[in-house]
Amino acid sequence: MAISIDKYIDISTTFPAASVSGRSFGGLVFTKNSMADAMIGTKMYEQFENGEIVQLTLDELLECFGEDSQEYKFARKYYGYLSPTGRFASKISFAKILASDESAAAAFSRIADSSNMFGSFTFLNLPDVSGSVADEDAARTEMLLAVASKNAEPKYLSRFLFVVNDVRGNQTARAVAEKCEQFRKFVGTCFVSGYDECSAYMPMAIFAATDYTNGTVNVQMFKQFDDETPTVKSDTEYDILVGAQVNFYGRTQTNGQSIDFYQRGFNTDKDKTDTSIYCNEIWFKSACETALINTLLSEERIPASDYGVAIVRSEVLGICADAASNGTFMAKELTASNEKSVRKLVASINGTAEDADAVIVGIRENGYAVLAYLVLQDDEYIIHYYVFYGTADSIRFIKGDDILVK
């Protein structure tokens, strides 16, 4: 277990909605299965069976679970992804659902409260449920809805991406869409209609292969996976699933050649959040936490003064500059509605019209702006800050007009 970082630094998303090192954004897979008996007595076995999170290479997974296990098959696909810029996904982790009576949501919160060394997570299998096939499917959905609800709580918001893997099987596109729409009220959930139990690896591998330090952010759509089988091959199914914000591996054709890729890369929430933008926000929030806790550890003290506010603002601005460099933030021309929202928020924290003007100019010219100030709360001085930024929108459709002049 570990003391929550919120005891020292509390960073929430308001707009739009020893030394400490950076986080790993590798995937985490929950499973109810145990490691092979041959692993008894090893450190990995003891950690895993006691409910701790363990990072495993593909060779270690082969040894721990066996070649025919779903755990090994999942990791083989995950580690097999190579991004367009030639980057592999960072190390995958596994965690055990401790008992048949531990709910999926309880397993997630137990792990999330003890470690944040993962960026996304999914459930390879769930605690056993009894009843008919239909009842089992409904019970499974209810368990996953509880996880989505837990992940959307303020404590975990913008910290982890939850990937729901729904095996397509014989389900109609309409049935899949209706199931996905049940997750509409939860932020931070990505719903995948996959070919098998392992298909959730796709958005997880894309996130884990993003190089925020030396590279650039990406869009999840158009990414290709050698070991994945497409589940959508018609316009009718495409329209139904896209309308419900279901993600899938689909097939199109150009000049008679079939092309398969992941699409369309959106979360389930009512605002239709781009999955990549949500992942970028996870990175940004984590980077700010790391920078600020290191500042607290390295300074003799942060004075409760304008100078202290300037120190914090400077650290956050440094991360903002990195975010602009890697494409997380983009310069935006604000709409009248955007400007009204900015001015309303600035006024609510006793900011001036000049402060609001500076924020609007910063977003327009740099893609971001930071407003920081000192407050007295419960007899303790606290520095608050707001980051306003333009999101890294991506192109998912290109229209061309060919004009032949004779």
Block mean pLDDT (10 aa), the chain, length 406: 58 51 86 94 94 95 96 97 91 91 93 93 85 77 97 94 97 97 97 97 96 89 94 95 97 89 96 95 93 92 94 95 93 91 91 94 94 91 92 78 84
Contact 119, 56 (CB under 8 A): no
Report the predicted TM-score, pTM, of the whole model to 2 decimal places: 0.91
Exposure on the CB side of residue 394, measured as CA atoms within 13 A: 19
Indicate the angle between helix axes 173-181 and 235-243, nearest 10 degrees. Answer: 10
Q: How many Cβ atoms from other residues are within 10 Å of residue 397's Cβ? A: 6
What six digits make up the tokens of 388? 């306003």
Contact 368, 324 (CB under 8 A): yes
Which run of H or of E encompasses 36? none
CA distance 193 to 164: 8
Q: Report how far Cα 271 is from the mean position of its chain's Cα atoms.
A: 15
Farthest CA pair distance, the chain: 80
Q: Please give the pLDDT value at position 183.
A: 98
Q: Please give the pLDDT value at position 386.
A: 92
Comparing CA positions, the residue from 400, 389, 183, 200 lying closest to residue 283 is 389
Q: Edge to edge, what strands does the sheet with 257-263 contain?
A: 54-56, 92-96, 27-31, 120-123, 161-167, 189-194, 247-254, 257-263
Q: Please give the pLDDT value at position 4.
A: 59
CA distance 218 to 221: 9
The pairing of beta strand 27-31 with beta strand 92-96: parallel
* DSSP for residue 90: P
Q: Please give the pLDDT value at position 13.
A: 53
Q: Please give the pLDDT value at position 15.
A: 44
Q: Please give the pLDDT value at position 186.
A: 97
- Where are the strands (E) in 185-308, listed by range? 189-194, 247-254, 257-263
